[in-house]
Amino acid sequence: MKKSKRTARLSPPRTALLKTSLPKKLASDPAKVRIHQLSTGVRGLDDILGGGIPEFSLNVLAGPPGCGKTTLVHQIAFANATPKKPALYFTVLGEPILKMMRYQQQFSFFDEAKVGKAVRFINLSDVALEKDLAAVLEEIIAHVTAANAGVVVLDSFRTLARKAISDVGEVEVQSFLHRLAQFLTSCEATTFLVGEYVEDEVRDNSLFTMVDGILWLSQVTERNSVVRKLQIMKLRGQATVPGLHTVRITHDGLQVFSRTLGLMGDKPKPAHRRRLSTGIPDLDKMLGGGILEGDSVLVAGPSGTGKSALATQFIAEGLRRGEKGIMAIFEERPQGYAQRADSFGLDLKSAENKGTLELLYMRPLDLSVDETMQAILDAIKRVGAKRLVIDSLVGFEMALAPGFRTDFRESLYRMIGALTGAGITILSTVEVEDNFTSLQFSHYAISFLTDDIIRLRYVEIDGQLRKTMVVIKMRGGNHSKDIREYVITAEGVVVIHPRRTDYAELSTGIPHRTGPRKAQENEAAPEPKASK
């Protein structure tokens, strides 16, 4: 008692000691446990998970057959397995291991050198069939302990659980799961239970309450198109990106495209921006000196008005000035596109060969906007591009799986925001119909997400269908309000006339003459090809 009194008098209280010896913030906020995260080895997935899979967590990887569960878990296993902390892949009444190896080795992540040492496959089907859950658990404990496993996979857990429920009842299965979770956590193993669950089971199956993470894979069918999706239904201890994310399985395994790709890291545009030439001097003047760097420009017009020609000139001008470019083409094949540019004296092929230009041809009919955005972002990074052409938005929409078309406007908003945020100047084309009563910009009401709009249209003048252009909008500054006539020559789009003051209602497409008609015997057609 005496000692304790003395101690109490001489020693400062413990909290006081902490306050004097530690920085202020730490003293009031004791150190939290740091949860390390395992990289999944799946491109795009770590970001969606909020950094990766929490170490020592127990996770369910669920979904119907064919949505990529086995491939995903193999990717995670191969990405994290080492001979000292191997991945143990237990199969229980699921896909035979020989067949699994046969198919999984086709993926680039499957490193044969890891099989047997860093990644070990163990079949527990015999134990599960001939014995009980206790024996299965005993086998798992023996293997995990002997191997000092870092990653444990149980595939298919649902089949095992269903068999056990029919044999011994649900309580026994709960008990098995509880003991398994306890053992694996104390062994410092990160575990994945793979199972072909359906969404209705989430409500009634206490497995989903017990586990730390639920990764749900699915296949969404819309009309003739099927798209794989991933949802992080649950992940304890960290913020994930909510919603359904598109999954693509390629030679490299799964790749996940976050539905919020591009929303993060959006930088504000700098106060002083350069003006970029379009390659058409008169159009540059109409734009007040050119397109502001980092702007999104929409070129709208009906078929044949030279949208692609204008877009090609924009890219070619950038190449001339040392600004690398990307052309995302959705309607034509790159060869035809390059050939047409050739006819304007614009040599895209050489630029491609030099690596200063990349023509991205994307037309698979089941794309998602996120995949397209990722492909464009990758190409921009590869090439170091400053200018981007999307030709056209109508073709882009057609290339999307039907399910994505309904969200096209929102997706486009995200995509353009992400790309201009990265300092890229975008020129998109869109086909609109001339109805001769109104001046449409696009079908999508997307003008809110473009900084500048250039409208091309046909106008009937003196018995000819001629072409005019006008700058409708320019967010970053003043622009010409003139409606200018242009032609498409061997040099591409060429603006030919100053604004017409002798016509009214040019924007309707059917103007009427207000001034006197110039005396002329037979007005020469402005386009060379028309005069032949």
For residue 499, the tally of other CB atoms under 10 A from its CB is: 15
Interface pick for another protein out of 123, 185, 238, 240 (rule CB under 8 A)? 123
Residue 303 touching another protein (CB under 8 A): no
- Per CB under 8 A, does 105 bind another protein? yes
Alpha helices for 51-156 (secondary structure H): 69-80, 97-104, 125-130, 133-147
Q: Which stretch binds another protein (CB under 8 A): 11-19, 95-103, 148-156, 202-210?
A: 95-103
**Helix locations, 298-368, DSSP H:** 307-320, 334-343, 348-354
97 binds another protein (CB under 8 A): yes
- Residue 113 CB, nearest distance to another protein (Å)? 8
Stretch that binds another protein, among 92-100, 209-217, 284-292, 432-440 (CB under 8 A): 92-100
Least distance from C-beta 92 to another protein, angstroms?
10
Q: Is residue 141 close enough to count as binding another protein by CB under 8 A?
A: no
Beta carbon nearer to another protein, 122 or 233:
122
Please give the single-letter amino acid code of residue 295: D
- Name the residue nearer to another protein (CB basis): 138 or 170: 138
Widest CA span in the chain: 125
- Tell me the number of residues near another protein by CB under 8 A: 16
**With binding defined as CB under 8 A, does residue 514 bind another protein?**
no
Tell me how far apart the alpha carbons of residues 208 and 463 are, in angstroms, rounded to a whole number. Answer: 73
Q: Are 390 and 250 in contact (CB under 8 A)?
A: no
Q: Does the protein bind another protein through residue 433 (CB under 8 A)? A: no
Q: Is 240 in the site for another protein (CB under 8 A)?
A: no
- The CB-of-115 to another protein minimum distance in angstroms stands at 6
463 phi, psi to nearest 5 deg:
75, 15
Least distance (Å) between residue 60 CB and another protein = 24
The verdict on 125 binding another protein (CB under 8 A) reads yes
Answer yes or no whether residue 126 interacts with another protein by CB under 8 A.
yes
Say if residues 48 and 241 touch (Cβ distance below 8 Å): yes
Taking CB under 8 A as the rule, does residue 98 contact another protein?
A: yes
**Whole-angstrom Cα distance, residue 174 to residue 108?**
37
Pairwise CA distance, residues 393 & 444, whole Å: 9
Counting contacts by CB under 8 A, is residue 96 touching another protein?
Answer: yes
DSSP assignment of 499-531: PPSSEE-GGGS--EE-SPPPP-SSPPPSSHHHH
- Among positions 18, 22, 27, 101, the unique one binding another protein when judged by CB under 8 A: 101
CA distance 261 to 312: 28
User: Rule CB under 8 A: is residue 121 a binding residue for another protein?
Assistant: yes
H/E stretch holding 361 reads strand 357-361
352-391 binders of another protein (CB under 8 A): none
Q: Is 320 in the site for another protein (CB under 8 A)?
A: no
Cα radius of gyration rounded to whole Å, the chain:
32
Q: For residue 151, what are its two tokens?
A: 């990653």
Q: Applying CB under 8 A, does 131 fall inside the site for another protein?
A: no
Among 27, 35, 122, 496, binds another protein (CB under 8 A): 122
Interface segment toward another protein; rule CB under 8 A; list 58-66, 101-109, 326-334, 410-418: 101-109
What is the C-alpha separation between 33 and 67, in angstroms, rounded? 35
Binding of another protein at residue 464 (CB under 8 A)? no
Residue 102 within binding range of another protein, rule CB under 8 A: yes
For residues 128, 134, 140, 141, the Cα torsion angle rounded to the nearest 10 degrees is: -170
| Angle at alpha carbon of residue 257, lines to 251 and 263, rounded to 5° | 150
> Which residues are near another protein by CB under 8 A?
96-99, 101-102, 105, 112-113, 115-116, 121-123, 125-126
